[in-house]
Amino acid sequence: MATNLLDSLKEVVTPDLISRASGMLGESDSATTKALGSAFPTVLGGLLDKAQDSGAMGQIFDLLEDEANDGSILKNVGSLLGGSAKEPINALGGKFLASIFGDKMSSIAGLLSNVAGIKSPSASSLLSVAGLLIMGVLGDRIRKGGLDLGGLTNLLVSQKDSIISAAPQPLAGVLGLGDLKNLGSYHMSGAAAAGKKGTPWLWPLLIILAVTIGLWLLLRGCGGTEPGSAVDSLKLKTDVAAQEIDVAADRRHPVEDAFAV
């Protein structure tokens, strides 16, 4: 098994698959090959673009672990052609691509149509085929490597350079990036911004601290016997606030460290 994801995908694209797809779509073998060759890094690039969105990546990871994605399509790639959209694996593939591209699906298909010189409906069909094959390969890596969400993201990030070099440059514009090289750095800045948004949690702690110290000083000045209680209250409230800060920090994306390499 090839280590590089793109190489693994090329291995499952057989001449028979290209010939059958070309015949069904009314496209040349060379154009179909080019379209799939562009679709693979396009989908992987879109997936890499989601890598710092833990919510989106969690949903995608669940799709990859779905029982319908059992790897059987990698042993019978011809079954991808002409299947009903209602079939479990095809329905799963549709959700997979929608989770990555959302309302940009038509723009992605248009990009592939322009790059490969094929009709838009053909581009949409080949994009679906590419999505299913990527699901099969990634699902296989997850099962055999025992990968969790962080492990999957590390795998994607480790192959960022090869994905970017193979992806069509117009993909950057579709994804809203100035350059495909910004895939990682873009999310790093997002992660940094998320970290800064966590600082408001410090204000409740400071307010509690100021009020409790003021109360303690007031009681001491009046000769009261409650300063010990005030200190105990301070400790309790500051501990709670500190725990809230820790929880907020833990909510930061679990795969952020992958981009620090």
Final residue belonging to a domain, choices 154, 187, 220: 187
- Give the contacts of 180 (CB within 8 A, at least 6 positions apart): 45, 164, 167, 169, 171, 172
The boundaries of the domain holding residue 249 are 198-260
Residue recorded with tokens 């990527």? 134
* 93 domain residue, yes or no: yes
> Which pLDDT score, from 0 to 100, does residue 185 have?
53
Residue 120 sits in the same domain as residue 236:
no
Residue 74 sits in the same domain as residue 147:
yes
Residue 86 sits in the same domain as residue 158:
yes
Residue 108 sits in the same domain as residue 213:
no
* 193 domain residue, yes or no: no
* 192 domain residue, yes or no: no
Residue 98 sits in the same domain as residue 12:
yes
> Which pLDDT score, from 0 to 100, does residue 53 have?
87
Residue 182 sits in the same domain as residue 213:
no
> Which pLDDT score, from 0 to 100, does residue 122 have?
96
Residue 163 sits in the same domain as residue 233:
no
The answer to whether the beta carbons of residues 22 and 29 sit under 8 Å apart is yes
Between CA 116 and CA 124, with CA 121 as vertex, the angle to 5 degrees is: 75
Alpha-carbon span 44 to 6, nearest angstrom? 9
Residue 153 sits in the same domain as residue 126:
yes
Mean pLDDT value across residues 7-16: 93
* 121-131 tens-digit pLDDT: 999 999 999 99
H helices present in the chain, as ranges = 5-12, 15-25, 29-49, 54-64, 72-75, 88-101, 105-116, 120-145, 149-158, 160-166, 171-174, 182-197, 202-221, 227-250
Query: Between the CA of residue 261 and those of 48, 86, 157, what are the distances in Å?
Result: 15, 42, 9
Q: For the chain, how many structural domains are there in total?
A: 2
> Which pLDDT score, from 0 to 100, does residue 179 have?
80
- What is the maximal distance between C-alpha atoms in the chain? 94
Residue 148 DSSP symbol: -
Mean pLDDT value across residues 219-225: 56
Residue 38 sits in the same domain as residue 131:
yes
Alpha-carbon span 36 to 178, nearest angstrom? 24
SS3 call for 200: helix
What residue type is assigned to position 147 of the chain? L
Higher pLDDT, 144 or 210: 144
* 28-57 tens-digit pLDDT: 999 999 999 999 999 999 999 998 888 999
Residue 233 sits in the same domain as residue 167:
no
> Which range scores top for mean pLDDT: 70-84, 158-172, 243-257?
158-172
Residue 177 sits in the same domain as residue 212:
no
What residue type is assigned to position 173 of the chain? G
> Which pLDDT score, from 0 to 100, does residue 228 have?
52
* 133 domain residue, yes or no: yes
pLDDT higher than 60, residue 78: yes
Residue 47 sits in the same domain as residue 122:
yes
* 209 domain residue, yes or no: yes
